[in-house]
Chain A
Amino acid sequence: MTKNKLKRIDLIFHEDCECRQVLEKTFSRSNDEIINDILESGLKGRGGAGFPTGLKWKFTAEQPADERFVICNADEGEPGTFKDREILFKVPSKVFSGMAVCAKVIGAKKGYIYLRGEYRFLLPELQKALGAFHRDIKDLIDFEIIIQMGSGAYICGEESALFESMEGKRGEPRNKPPYPTISGFKDKPTVINNVETLVYAFMICKHGPLSFKELGTSDSRGSKVFSVSGDTPIAGIYELELGMSLEHFVEEFGDGDTKAVQVGGAAGFCVPRKKLKETIIGFEGVPTGGSMKVFNSSRSMYNVLHNYLEFFEEESCGQCTPCRVGCQQLLKGIEAVKKGEKKAIYLDQLLKLSETMKLASKCGLGQSVANSFSSIVDNFREEMIY
């Protein structure tokens, strides 16, 4: 099922919300009922990976433990994504409320917001809002939220590296399994959700699962907040129904000269103009954590890729071979081809390497470098060479 029109939604930012009332209503229901609503809504993680939120909560709740945690992943580091910043700035109490609902469902007494190091400027206002929230709900639930600052490493947005960082260790991804629902922060069962996911979970509690489920497609229910940037006259944050085609997106946001759209940031996919029509934004097409970067014909896709690879070369944690060395090789490789030091056919070698990185890297960072690499090299091969 393909929805054609681009539909703006106004759930997250503009709707007035008496958080306490919604929480009271939600807390009067059983945990199973709440989880079933989240499952029924079809909500998937909004960080990009798209794991069903209800299942995550259910697994964590079912895991025997003396302590469980809910963590809000606000380490928004993907290049071109800035929607969590806006959410935390404008509607922090909805984030806290989403965490509180999750805490009730899984039985957590403590929740953490892992805030991106570069978002320190949000901290004073967030703390103020959090203080008010704590006062507001203290008779409803025994739950405390703590804000922990990140230090600026992209990799710490990866959930298990985030746990390591929170535990005071070097931010390096762990082996999985075990998954966070079994062993997360401090090796306890942990729900870790993106900022936006928690807000949607809360909105589902408010409006019920059906109104959410009506939006989007069967694989991608609901709406999503997009960070639109690049060659667009109207860069900014937009909440849109999922399942639109990229062609419609470009009609709305492009500058009339769109050459390609990078969907999902540096870790995402580059879609060239000729494929805009057939490409759907959503889990059945190209998923995104929110980043939508529009490039017009003035852009060199070699420079775009070079920029991404420089980013990955630096932001890999350096732990596993495919990612640490692979990123360096991809970067040095396209440089060598551009300079004529390697023949154009070397790009095929690099494509195979990126496939290895996708298959064999330890975490999502290394696994997703191939997304932008292969989609840019495949679609703009001539720009890599000449």
Chain B
Amino acid sequence: MAKNIKLKIDGVDVQVEDGKTVLDAARAINVHIPTLCYHEDLCVAGNCRVCVVEVTGAKALVASCAMPATDGMDVHTNSLKVRAARKNIIELLLSEHNADCTMCYKNKKCELQDLASEYKTSGEQLFIDLVPLKDYTIDNFSPSIIKDDSKCIRCQRCVRTCEELQHVSALGVAYKGDKMKISTFFENPMYDVVCTNCGQCINRCPTGSLIERNYVDEVWDAIYDEKKHVVVQTAPATRVALGEDLGFEAGHVVTGKMVSALKRVGFDSVLDTDFSADLTIMEEGTELLTRLKKALVDKDPTVKLPMATSCSPGWIKFIEHTFPEYLDNLSTCKSPQQMFGALAKTYYAKKRNIDPADIVSVSIMPCTAKKFEADRPEMRSSGYKDVDYVLTTRELARMIKQAGLDFLSLPEENYDSIMGESTGAAVIFGATGGVMEAALRTAYEIVTGREVPFENLNITPVRGMDGVKEVTVKIEGTLPDWNFLEGAELKTVTAHGLTNAKYVMERVKSGEADYHFIEIMACPGGCIGGGGQPIPTNMEIRKKRTEAIYMEDTGKPIRKSHENPEVVAIYKEFLGEPLSHKSHELLHTHYKARQRY
């Protein structure tokens, strides 16, 4: 679009496209206007008023995030009026904010604190402290999310996130006036509402009002306990984002440094969720082919298609609440995290000759829903809690800092063995479309004996940031065992963000779509945009992390799950074959219908 709007900001001429806001225009010429309720991923609210500017001729100040740029506008971002108002507004926010910064998990990572440090020049609070006058409680019942209303500045980013990005609306605005607060259905605790624990709200909260439940101290305790053997697994998406919290630009792959840091922090064995991602492909791919065979050849009416992926615990809780009638359509495979956990205390323990009771299994995840998943009662098939502690990417960054490591200068090291081997197919689990692509790479080859007919194995149509990606793969030249699939068109759909998930499921429900295989990731962009990833996360950063993921894939010597030598070995030595009795016992699970309210 042409740049057809001409305006002046602080005396500087600027041209922007029609439809851009004053804030966009200011950013285009590197004029910094502070914001709080504004977030690139969300609709404009214009309610914090921190971004007010003066427009010559207008009676009142205007919120630059919400004001369209118009021709001839003369904007002042730092006039006397603006400064006075902005300072007052920041003071007002501070007066209703529980500013116990040194006690706060978000200390030095808080947008309100940043503003205070820019604008507060006197030591005393300008207005009366309102926090003691209110009856605040902390909701800390959830294994994933802690909500502390005393730190809330009512910017409603979380509300918009939950509604717009996720169509969950677990969080909403309640009451009005001085009693207005962000709350849940009937003010129930977060664990008792439709919340999927995706943590997207945490990722967007400017203060410490919404944070993950952190297990940093518990993990340190385990590490220091000499009797315990602490294994750690790292999810695919962590390696392309961790660097952002430790001094790297977004989009930097830090796998080797992360491994090195984990070893120095003191984990006894540093292993890779990628291994169990490959295993997931073996189980889930086989499950899909088995379902297709039962449906197409055996005409078994009990077989449910389309089959949907089950790696994303946010998606699992969403479907349990919202589409419980489709639980049988979910793959019974546990997520890679939980497969890993179950094997860590069985296969790994046996191979390393360690009493599983002495193993502490830790996972590093881009995700807060994984904390809830690890706590599910179904996830104890090893006889123990399969995954003891889940840390987000952010928590790991914190541990690395606490350990005094200079991340930038760490050497790159390799994962330990066993269960440390990875393929390109496993790495791409971290991006939307990744599970689909990995599954197709393997399933197509099982059925035809040939590689998927895409250049360099890159199934590009399932990649990228489009919310819903429908791809049909025609199966030709099948091996004798799979003749029934000859000429079949495998209809797939890939969606990310629960808003898109809901759209896909509604199409399935109404019969508009007849997919065979559905990949859904709860978070926008897939796990690279997970709720446990470094803050900020936005479209630009998601794209950079995704590029990094595919770079990592391309650089791997092995790029198909079924060729992972450790996966081959585990089937030979321990599991037998995909969907074997042992697999079912350790690697598969079931789901639970939950109520919407």
The interface of chain A, by Cβ under 8 A from chain B, is: 153, 155, 170, 172, 175, 177, 312-322, 324-329, 332-333, 336, 349, 352-353, 355-356, 358-362, 367
Contacts and interface: CB of A to CB of B under 8 A. Distances in A.
B268 to A, nearest CB: 50
Contact of A320 (B44, B47, B67): B47
Contacts of A172: 173
Contact of A316 (B44, B45, B61, B178): B178
25 contacts: A153-B176, A175-B46, A175-B63, A313-B178, A314-B179, A315-B176, A316-B180, A317-B176, A318-B176, A319-B47, A321-B48, A321-B154, A324-B154, A325-B95, A325-B127, A325-B130, A327-B178, A329-B92, A329-B130, A352-B84, A353-B127, A359-B61, A359-B85, A360-B60, A362-B49
Interface string B149-178: 000011010000000000000000101111
Interface in B83-103: 84-85, 88-89, 92-93, 95-96
B485 interface: no
A322 B177 contact: no
Given A316-B176, A327-B178, A362-B63, A322 B128 contact: no
Contacts of A315: 176-177
B52 interface: yes
B118 to A, nearest CB: 16
A175 B66 contact: yes
Contacts, number: 118
A373 B547 CA distance: 56
A318 B126 contact: no
B47 A313 contact: no
Nearest to B94: A325
B395 to A, nearest CB: 31
Contact of B89 (A321, A327, A355): A321
Contact of B68 (A177, A313, A318, A349): A177
Contacts of B178: 313-314, 316, 318, 324, 327-328
B474 interface: no
Contact of B92 (A318, A325, A336, A362): A325
Contacts of B61: 359-360
A333 B50 CA distance: 22
Contacts of A355: 84
B81 interface: yes
A333 B130 CA distance: 11
Interface of B: 44-50, 52, 60-61, 63, 66-68, 81, 84-85, 88-89, 92-93, 95-96, 126-128, 130, 133, 153-154, 156, 173, 175-180
B177 A318 contact: yes
B49 A320 contact: yes
A316 B177 CA distance: 4
Contacts of B128: 329, 332-333, 336
A190 to B, nearest CB: 19
Contacts of A316: 176-178, 180
Nearest to A155: B176
A318 B175 CA distance: 8
Nearest to B89: A321
Nearest to B93: A321
Given A313-B178, A318-B173, 13 more contacts: A316-B176, A317-B176, A318-B178, A319-B156, A321-B47, A321-B50, A322-B88, A329-B128, A333-B128, A336-B128, A353-B127, A359-B60, A360-B49
Interface-centre pick from B49, B67, B133 (highest chain A CB count, 10 A): B49
Interface-centre pick from B44, B48, B68, B127 (highest chain A CB count, 10 A): B127
Per CB-CB distance, the 8 closest pairs between chain A and chain B, nearest first, are: A318-B180, A175-B66, A325-B92, A356-B88, A314-B177, A175-B46, A360-B85, A356-B85
B87 to A, nearest CB: 9
A37 to B, nearest CB: 29
A320 B52 CA distance: 12
Contact of B60 (A153, A313, A367): A367
A175 B179 CA distance: 22
Interface-centre pick from A316, A326, A329, A333 (highest chain B CB count, 10 A): A329
A159 to B, nearest CB: 16
Nearest to A319: B47
A193 B102 CA distance: 52
Nearest to B133: A332
B583 to A, nearest CB: 49
B497 to A, nearest CB: 22
A132 B507 CA distance: 46
B48 A324 contact: no
Given A314-B177, A318-B178, A327-B177, A360 B89 contact: yes
Contacts of B68: 177
Contacts of A175: 44, 46, 63, 66-67
A324 B177 contact: yes
A45 to B, nearest CB: 16
A50 to B, nearest CB: 13
A211 B161 CA distance: 55
Contacts of B176: 153, 155, 314-318
B24 to A, nearest CB: 15
Contact of A353 (B88, B130, B173): B88
A353 to B, nearest CB: 6
Given A318-B179, A362-B63, A325 B93 contact: yes
Contacts of B130: 325, 328-329, 332
A329 B127 contact: yes
Contacts of A328: 96, 130, 178
